[in-house]
Structure 1
Amino acid sequence: MAIDRAKELFDAEFVNVQPHSGAQANMAVFLACLKPGDTFMGLDLSHGGHLSHGSAVNSSGILYRPVAYKVDKETGTIDYDQMEETAMREKPKLIIAGASAYSRDWDYERMRNIADEVGALLMADIAHPAGLIAKGILNDPLPHCHIVTTTTHKTLRGPRGGMIMMGENFENPWGLTTKKGTVKKMSMILNSAVFPGIQGGPLEHVIASKAVAYGEALTDSFMEYILQVKKNANVMAKAFIDKGYHVISNGTDNHLMLIDLRTKFPDITGRQVENALVLADITVNKNMVPFDSRSPFQASGLRVGTPAITTRGLKEEHIPAIVELIDQGINKLDDEKALQDVKTEVNRLMKDFPLFAY
């Protein structure tokens, strides 16, 4: 059921719903497509890329050779020309589209052209915008990417887990065959990479939850929800900009935004803000920003998103008050009394909104 619903939701020919997380879905694709030491290319981690796209402390950076493309310093958007130059020079065997903290849509068609130029496979990691892609709000990677991975929480709003998809199944490009001499399809290689390659038995209780989430995502109610997520994000990004914050790329196409604190608070770190806002019952993530001057443990930015508050029923008219409370918390991050006052106001604002309005 989970497989059939995911195929319908994403118009995919192949789906594997067994990965326990998005990182493990990525790990399985790497195992299927690369040999130890092979070069692959993903978004620079300090520019919004994910740990599983080449971090030195992740298996992707330990077992393989990562090279990075980056965002443009002026626009904050992906520099596709630099991506192409790096691909032509480094000749990666796998190119990854996707990020952990990037607020703009992706040009999958351009990336496929780059991949074809250098003979690479193209994988999209859509962990963050999957719900928006599923409902046609953002560009669809499946017609262009050989393989697509995702998490099943975040904008899909399901249980914590992962998934691997292909728009069309195809024969593996390395000529690997079965014992009978038949060329293996990529579906067979990907399935084997998940089990027994990197995992043991499937978590059937989680897969059942995934099936429920995919069923919800196929409904008109989910379309209403995910459109509201995007509307709320647009209003929130503008509200932060109006308060003098630097939102990377000056806005958002999806559900999140990345805020560089240095423009307004040059001496305050993302870690300080994250820890202070927790005391006010506000959850945000510290995050590195492009060309950050601080380490990942301190960071100069915040990643903020709207799926959770939208699930609780908040709409555009509520967003300015939320941004105002965040701003108050940042301005008073060393004042425990002021943070308690913000906490009181946060709880007053949210008391009439249940955990699940959609």
Structure 2
Amino acid sequence: MSAAYRNALDVIAAVEPGVAGAIRGELADQRASLKLIASENYASPAVLLTMGTWLSDKYAEGTIGHRFYAGCQNIDTVERLAADHAKALFGAEHAYVQPHSGIDANLVAFWGILAHRVESPALAAAGARHVNDLSEDDWETLRKALGDQRALGMSLDAGGHLTHGFRPNISGKMFHQRSYGTDPETGLLDYDALRATAREFRPLVLIAGYSAYPRRVDFARMREIADEVGAVLMVDMAHFAGLVAGKVFTGVHDPVPYAHVTTTTTHKSLRGPRGGLVLCQREYADSIDRGCPMVLGGPLGNVMAAKAVALAEARQVAFADYAHAVAANAVALAEGLVRRGVRLVTGGTDNHLVLLDVSTYGLTGRQAESALLDAGIVTNRNAIPRDPNGAWYTSGIRVGTPALTSRGFGPQEFDRVAELIVGVLTDTTPSSTSKAKYDLPPGTAGKTRAAAAELLTAHPLYPGLDLA
């Protein structure tokens, strides 16, 4: 493995040494940092090597067996393998593995739902088989119908995602959007309030899933609410797909049996390449498969191949062990923080992430994020419910356990990580004139980096990989 990467870097350096240096630097930085960003992980060498192949040189618009270019038999093979692995892993009726990212997966899902629920009846009424066959009057009627649709998703400060209907994102421009939140006292989803909002708003799409909500969701109840108001239930499980794949989330906490359409990224807790995929019930398959050219450009054959490899890895027993360790480590991290006086949103976690309220230290999320980075702890600032500092400076820090669990960290190490986090937050002094500036004593930063180095040395990243 070392020889393969050294040779590859030599080839890159011969053309652009700056890129080769950045690649080496990224590996060094990741080896030397406590990576606690909940949406990041470490892909296996097999996944990484798969992406660096000549499969990237082939255009393959369309779907398996129905391409707009000739000579796509090998792309068909890797796309079929990825889709088959996804269906088997998640128990899905259909899988579409072309999306380049999570937002692309959500866009494919949104437009697939619109096509299935709005476009198809309009075509039938006009006696047309394709939108290109519609008259101008019919097309105007269809465009108006598309523009009148409504979506109901989790609010950003409660843990939702930008792609769930917020105006800065394209999803907020596609739909008339409304948000549901969490209970002001507990921070937990209030299903009764959600039901009341759905009854009043009557959305076409009810969006479930989150990027910063530290608890499980009852998807059976979400489906009941969707059915009651005639909505399509779409679940974005980008953050917790690995916990679904590893059978940490089962029963009503597994979204796939309940959602009409489920989207995810393939990195994060799933530990694959950066990309997305869409799972759906069979009745939506034709509409979802129109993702290219409806939303997407040419499929990335090398990344679809890497998805196939990662999904094959996720079907192994070892991945289930990993997923359960991710959840157990998150509990250990949360308990370690609470024991040391940190306020957590919802008081804890039962998934892979923990959300800290750093306002109790007099800090904004941006100040805390930067101070922790100075000390070798990589996190990201995040809004908390009803955040007075908004989405840029925030009052929270989001931390997650997938990446360090991949390195072999266990509950004892995560308790030590909690101790290091609290030490940095306690010693950080906020500026009185800026929500971004702060002061962290060099001694604290140095001591924390040394302690982190001890933990990281005991659990090396890509052991055996030597680029010297």
- Alignment partners' CA distance in 2, 1:132 and 1:71: 22
For 1:36, the aligned partner's letter is G
Match of 1:145 among 259, 265, 280: 259
Match of 2:313 among 216, 233, 255: 216
What is the aligned-residue identity percentage?
A: 42
- Alignment partners' CA distance in 1, 2:300 and 2:376: 32
Say yes or no: does 1:15 pair with 2:95: yes
Aligned to 1:179: none
Say yes or no: does 1:67 pair with 2:178: yes
Match of 1:269 among 357, 361, 364: 364
Q: Provide the secondary structure at the position in 1 that maps to 2:147.
A: coil
State the Cα deviation string for residues 224-272 of structure 1 (Å, max 9, x = none): 111111110001111111111111111111111111122x31x200100
Deviation at 1:356, TM superposition (A): 4.4
Q: Provide the secondary structure at the position in 2 that maps to 1:40.
A: strand
Deviation at 1:135, TM superposition (A): 2.3
RMSD of aligned alpha carbons: 1.2
Aligned to 1:101: 212
- Alignment partners' CA distance in 1, 2:282 and 2:97: 16
Say yes or no: does 1:136 pair with 2:216: no
- Equivalent pairs counted in the alignment come to 338
- Alignment partners' CA distance in 2, 1:116 and 1:17: 27
Aligned to 2:295: 198
Aligned to 1:309: 404
For 1:351, the aligned partner's letter is T
Aligned to 2:448: 342
For 2:412, the aligned partner's letter is E
For 1:326, the aligned partner's letter is I
Contact 1:247–1:257, Cα closer than 8 Å, also in 2: yes
For 1:243, the aligned partner's letter is R
| Structure 1, unaligned runs of 5 or more | 171-185
For 1:191, the aligned partner's letter is D
Contact 2:247–2:320, Cα closer than 8 Å, also in 1: no
Deviation at 1:336, TM superposition (A): 4.2
- Alignment partners' CA distance in 2, 1:320 and 1:23: 34
Deviation at 1:355, TM superposition (A): 1.5
Identify which range, 130-139 or 230-239, moves more after superposition.
Answer: 130-139
For 1:206, the aligned partner's letter is V
Aligned to 2:345: 248
Match of 1:115 among 215, 219, 226: 226
Say yes or no: does 1:320 pair with 2:418: no
Q: 1:356 to 1:223 in 2, by over 3 A?
A: farther
For 1:53, the aligned partner's letter is H
Q: Provide the secondary structure at the position in 2 that maps to 1:274.
A: helix
Deviation at 1:190, TM superposition (A): 0.9
* Greater Rg over alpha carbons, structure: 2
Match of 1:42 among 143, 147, 153: 153
For 2:82, the aligned partner's letter is A
Contact 2:99–2:105, Cα closer than 8 Å, also in 1: yes
Aligned to 1:160: 274
Q: Provide the secondary structure at the position in 2 that maps to 1:144.
A: coil
- Alignment partners' CA distance in 1, 2:297 and 2:225: 36
- Alignment partners' CA distance in 2, 1:243 and 1:325: 11
- Alignment partners' CA distance in 2, 1:315 and 1:142: 29
Q: Which runs of 4+ in 1 moved over 3 A?
A: none
Deviation at 1:344, TM superposition (A): 2.1
Identify which range, 330-339 or 70-79, moves more after superposition.
Answer: 330-339
For 2:196, the aligned partner's letter is E
- Alignment partners' CA distance in 2, 1:124 and 1:304: 22
Contact 2:245–2:320, Cα closer than 8 Å, also in 1: no
For 1:295, the aligned partner's letter is G
Aligned to 2:43: none
Q: 1:356 to 1:250 in 2, by over 3 A?
A: farther
Q: Which has the higher contact order (CA 8 A, sep 6+)?
A: 2
Identify which range, 334-343 or 217-226, moves more after superposition.
Answer: 334-343
Q: Provide the secondary structure at the position in 2 that maps to 1:114.
A: helix
Aligned to 2:129: none
Contact 1:234–1:253, Cα closer than 8 Å, also in 2: yes
Q: TM-score normalized by structure 1?
A: 0.92
Identify which range, 33-42 or 107-116, moves more after superposition.
Answer: 33-42
Contact 2:246–2:321, Cα closer than 8 Å, also in 1: no
For 2:227, the aligned partner's letter is D
| Structure 2, unaligned runs of 5 or more | 1-80, 115-145, 429-438, 464-468
- Alignment partners' CA distance in 1, 2:409 and 2:246: 20
